[in-house]
Amino acid sequence: MRPSRFPTILFACLLAAAVCATGCRSSTISNPPQLFELRHDADNANAPNLPAATYEAAARFTAAQTAALLGGKLIEVDFFIQFLPASAMLKVYDAGTAGAPGALLYSADVTASLTQAAWTTHMLTAPVTISGGDVWIAVEFTHAVSQRVIGCDPGPAVPDGDWLFSSADGMWMPFNLRFPVSVNWNIRGRVEL
């Protein structure tokens, strides 16, 4: 009498069902997020010597530059500090005018995280959504004596790469209109899309 093949067939069917239950489900393969850099600068070359005051060095990224990143999140900012200021804040502004930022979207005290003559990376605790309009990324710093604080590239300046606010006159101006020096600030944003 030949042995029954029923247990073997049953085992094969149960094994196939188990494989399908774990491996045959339809699954969506998600692509990892992509990172894009917003920047106007080249490598650090120097830092301008500025009189005692409070300043904001900013890079403005226009709607034309941010349109492709619509819906993305500004998640971190890199900036170069030459000599440590008394205090420093990282700020992100919404679109304003062609000559001044709009509403403040993000602000963080970064004084304790700075390292002299080095890049600082600040991870935003509340990422800023890219709306497709202008974005201003700024580093505010205060020093009581003339000092070199915010890093810059060797130039030449590109449009919107060298905005500077000074507490001395309360105005935003391109740095090359304040001083006869043509550079771009070492300020870079990283957007996750």
Question: Domain holding 115: CATH number?
Answer: 2.60.120
In a domain, 134, yes or no: yes
Q: Tell me the CB-side half-sphere exposure of residue 142, using CA atoms within 13 A.
A: 9
What value does the CA radius of gyration of the chain take, rounded to a whole number of Å?
Answer: 26
The total domain count for the chain is: 1
In a domain, 4, yes or no: no
Long-range CB pairs of 6-11, under 8 A, 24+ apart, other chains included = none
- Condensed to tens digits (0 to 9), the pLDDT of residues 86-134 reads 999 999 999 999 999 999 999 999 999 999 999 999 999 999 999 989 9
pLDDT value of residue 31: 78
For residues 15 and 140, the model is more confident at: 140
Alpha helices (runs of H) in the chain, residue ranges in sequence order = 6-23, 63-66, 175-178
180: enclosing H helix or E strand: none
pTM of the predicted model over 0.95: no
pLDDT at 22 exceeding the cut of 50: no
In a domain, 142, yes or no: yes
Burial grade of 75 (CB within 10 A; 0-12, 13-18, 19 or more) = middle
Domain around 103: 35-192
In a domain, 186, yes or no: yes
In a domain, 6, yes or no: no
pLDDT value of residue 97: 93
pLDDT at 23 exceeding the cut of 60: no
In a domain, 7, yes or no: no
